Amino acid sequence: MIRAGSCGQFEQIVLTAIVALGDNAYGVTIHNKVQELSRPKPVALGAVYVTLDRMEAKGFVSSTLSDPTPERGGRSKRCYRMEKAGERALRESAVIVQRMWDVLSQQLGPRGRRWRKA
Amino acid sequence: MNPEPSKVLQRAVRCLLPQGAREHVLGDLQERFVETGSSAGYLLDALRTLPYIVLGQIIRNVDGRLVAFEAVALIASFALYVLRKPAAGHTYAPAMLAVGVIALAALVLGDAYVEPRNRARYHTLRQPVLAYGAAWVAGLLLGAVIPALAPVPGIVLQSAASGFFFLFMGRILFVGLAGERSSPSAIGSFADVRLQAEGLKRRVRQRNVSEYAGVAIGVVASAIGVFRAHQPLLRAGLAVAIPGLLWAAYELYRRGSSRELPASLSETEAVAFLRSELARQRDALRNVHFWYLGPLVPAMVLISAARIAGHPWSWNLAFPGGSWAGFVFLLWWVNRRGARLLQRQIDALDGWEKQS
């Protein structure tokens, strides 16, 4: 049994992908979006599935099966939607990332030139 | 028309995938196949994804507390064997630990592959069979590789009786507790009332069919035992079991048979019908000690007495009597909890009726 709490980095990326995709968030599209967000690092489709399952157990997302479509061989999509707990966790993570970015901008300059050189 | 991987390939991948992930994962793999058009790519994609899917289904469908309990149950069953033959405990402990891990893995996978809502009644029985089957096969392989471990499959089989008992009882207990915590299905419309009535009828019918089958097996086994057993006390116990079982089956038919919701009923009549059915099943479960367990107690006492009679006292003899007592108590407890769940469904139905 998984308890809801903060979300890890990969979960943040998957949640962001779900938000970006809106009603069209299902396995393949989420994977494509996650790959786009985390490039150049490759991401396995299975890693997305297991993260979605974990986040569903935490109550961050919920899923429903869509109607079957012919382009998928008459099979349904499992469509995902972000829930309140997921939204809260993502917002908390975004605030922390923003704070980190503020500190880094102060120390390394707004464009982070010194950081990039290092 | 979109290209599709071969049917054989699709079927093979379908067999590998857990039940809860089949539909959408096969669809996703198909969508990715359309982009590449390569059967090898499809298979590779499926095989790469499979471990993650299984892990995801473990997260969704497996309860860590049940797994912890099952690990303890497996260790306890092996420990009971070691109590009887202490020398074996030292020699084969590492091998038994290894096959125990295999048995536990089989239990976890057995739960992960079947969605909780689709689990049949025999799932509780199937899981211990699966676990000990896997442990036995692992023992055989160990014995084939290391000849000194050849007795391991035998030890697995000898400890299976107590292991079955622990795992089966634990699962009944756990399912009872989980059911108590879950909230009754919400009723939002008249269609939900019909759905609940149909669900209740289906569940009751499934339960009764398996109970009648159990009674039939019990009667035949007891009748054979009456003629073959040597101990008079055991023969008496088995003879007493037959009318007890038949009485329980008759009472189950009288008190707990399933009834179909007539299609001609108005909404108010249908709600009243569902309430009366829930109340009838609740009362049957509430009084299970009187009409189901009670008639079987004399047979259990006689059979346990036959096991103890003529033996010098040892703790091993306490096991059959204790098992029966524990089993009866567990059945009573699970049924009482079932009755409370039905009462909550009745309350939910009343609440909805008042609101609407």
Q: Using the 8-state DSSP alphabet, how is residue A3 labeled?
A: P
Closest-CA residue of B relative to A72 is: B27
Structural contact between residues B241 and B299, judged by C-beta atoms closer than 8 angstroms: yes
C-alpha to C-alpha distance for B31 and B4, rounded to whole angstroms:
9
Whether B48 sits inside 8 A of A44 (CB atoms) is yes
Contacts of B31 in chain A (CB under 8 A): 28, 71-72
Which residue among B23, B30, B64 places its CB closest to the CB of A65? B23
Query: What does the block give as tokens for B247?
Result: 């009485």
Q: What is the 3-state secondary structure (H, E, C) of chain B?
A: CCCCCCHHHHHHHHHHCCHHHHHHHHHHHHHHHHHHCCHHHHHHHHHHHHHHHHHHHHHHHCCHHHHHHHHHHHHHHHHHHHHHCHHHHHHHHHHHHHHHHHHHHHHHHHHHCCCHHHCCCCHHHHHHHHHHHHHHHHHHHHHHHCHHHCCHHHHHHHHHHHHHHHHHHHHHHHHHHHHHHCCCCCCCCHHHHHHHHHHHHHHHHHHHHHHHHHHHHHHHHHHHHHHHCCCHHHHHHHHHHHHHHHHHHHHHHHHHCCCCCCCCCCHHHHHHHHHHHHHHHHHHHHCHHHHHHHHHHHHHHHHHHHHHCCCCCCHHHHHHHHHHHHHHHHHHHHHHHHHHHHHHHHHHHHHHHHHC
pLDDT for B137: 94
Whether A45 sits inside 8 A of B34 (CB atoms) is no
Share of chain B above pLDDT 90, in %: 26
C-alpha to C-alpha distance for B5 and B13, rounded to whole angstroms:
11
Residue B285's closest CA among B237, B320, B252? B252
Residue B175 binned pLDDT confidence (cut-offs 50, 70, 90): confident
Residue B230 binned pLDDT confidence (cut-offs 50, 70, 90): confident
Cβ of residue A50 closer than 8 Å to a chain B Cβ: yes
Measuring CA to CA, how many Å separate B305 from each of B62, B310, B322? 40, 10, 12
Cβ of residue B57 closer than 8 Å to a chain A Cβ: yes
Say yes or no to pLDDT of B201 above 80: yes
pLDDT for B317: 63
pLDDT for B211: 87
Distance from CA of B73 to the nearest CA of A (A): 20
Whether A78 sits inside 8 A of B31 (CB atoms) is no
pLDDT (average), residues B191-205: 81
Helix (H) or strand (E) holding A46: helix A45-58
Cβ of residue A52 closer than 8 Å to a chain B Cβ: yes
Cis amide bond preceding A40, omega within 30? yes
Contacts of A52 in chain B (CB under 8 A): 56
Q: Which residues contact B333 (CB under 8 A, 6 or more apart)?
A: B173, B176
pLDDT for B344: 87
Contacts of A70 in chain B (CB under 8 A): 2
Say yes or no to pLDDT of B43 above 50: yes
**Computed from CA positions of residues B136, B138, B144, B150, in that sequence, does the dihedral angle turn out positive or negative?**
negative
Which amino acid is residue B237, in one-letter code? G
Which residue among A47, A57, A69 places its CB closest to the CB of B52? A47
Residue B184 binned pLDDT confidence (cut-offs 50, 70, 90): low
pLDDT in tens, B66-102: 899 899 888 888 888 877 777 776 778 888 889 999 9
Q: Using the 8-state DSSP alphabet, how is residue A26 labeled?
A: B
Please count the residue pairs, one from chain A and one from chain B, whose beta carbons lie less than 8 angstroms apart. Answer: 83
Across all residues in chain B, what is the average pLDDT? 85
In this prediction, the residues of chain A whose per-residue pLDDT falls under 70 are 1-5, 110-118
pLDDT for B51: 93
Whether A28 sits inside 8 A of B32 (CB atoms) is yes
pTM of the predicted model, to two decimals? 0.67
CA dihedral of B220, B224, B225, B229, whole degrees rounded to 10: 180
Say yes or no to pLDDT of B314 above 80: no
Distance from CA of B103 to the nearest CA of A (A): 21
C-alpha to C-alpha distance for A117 and B36, rounded to whole angstroms:
40
pLDDT in tens, B231-263: 888 899 999 999 999 999 999 999 989 888 777
pLDDT in tens, B336-347: 888 888 898 898
Structural contact between residues B123 and B168, judged by C-beta atoms closer than 8 angstroms: no
Contacts of B25 in chain A (CB under 8 A): 27, 49
Distance from CA of B133 to the nearest CA of A (A): 27
Whether B24 sits inside 8 A of A78 (CB atoms) is yes
Say yes or no to pLDDT of B352 above 70: yes
Across all residues in chain A, what is the average pLDDT? 85
Q: Which residue has the tokens 């019908």?
A: B273
pLDDT for A118: 45
Structural contact between residues A53 and B59, judged by C-beta atoms closer than 8 angstroms: yes
C-alpha to C-alpha distance for A35 and A48, rounded to whole angstroms:
10
